[in-house]
Each structure stands twice: as structure tokens, then as C-alpha cells.
Amino acid sequence: MLARRITDAVPPDRYRRTVHVAVVRLLMTPGDIPDLDPFQRPAWQRRGACRGEPLGRFFPGRGEDLAPGKAICAGCVVRSDCLGYALADDQLQGIWGGTSDRERARMRRATA
């Protein structure tokens, strides 16, 4: 019942974004992800260069610089896995695989 009350009180877009931010914060926490992963994240996420970095670098506000997040992605060993993951999910926001959500949308349109 608690989940029903929360979703009734919070607009769906805001609720979805709140849940998304909570999941991303968990993903970005430094250290190993336990083998019992309730979110069933791909194993490559354990090796991402973004682990432990401030979230603001990967989720800049409107008009803010994307370069700090993209610079971290540039040297990441799992960049191609991350980009493939992000291209497969059009709901992901922020910088994934060295690309912004707008850049990924363009990439999807170009391959459609």
C-alpha cells in the first residue's frame, strides 16, 4: 500500500526520475557490487571508470558542461558496453558511453 500512496502523491515523471536517480546513485557508489544484485545490473558496470565519481558529472543540468563526464568516459574500458546498454534503453538520461541523451537519440534515428 505504501508504494500506491507514493505513486498517487507524486506525478509519474517525477517518481520515475526519483527512482532513476536512486538507482544511479547506487550504481555510482565506489567499491564492489555484491553478487546478490537486486537490480540485475550487467557485470561490466563493476569496471566502469564512473564508479565513485560525483553524479553531477554525468547528469548535468540544462545548459551545463558535458565535458567532465565525457572526459571520464573517454578512457573507460567498458565504454562500448555502456554505450550499447544506453542505446538499447531510450529512457536513460545523462551521459552513458561518452554520449548525451540527445546524441544517443540521433544515433538511434540514424540507424532506424
Question: Bridge-partner residues for 96, per DSSP?
Answer: 99
CA distances from 19 to 10, 39, 55, 67, 68 (A): 12, 12, 14, 25, 24
Residue 21: the pLDDT is: 72
Q: Average pLDDT of the chain?
A: 80
Assess whether pLDDT exceeds 80 at residue 4.
no
Tell me the whole-structure pTM to 2 decimals. Answer: 0.66
* Closest alpha carbon to 97 in 21, 89, 65: 89
CA distances from 1 to 7, 24, 37, 39, 101 (A): 10, 25, 25, 22, 34
Query: Helix, strand, or coil here: 66?
Result: coil
Residue 86: the pLDDT is: 94
Each residue's pLDDT tens digit, 13-38: 555 666 667 666 666 666 655 554 56
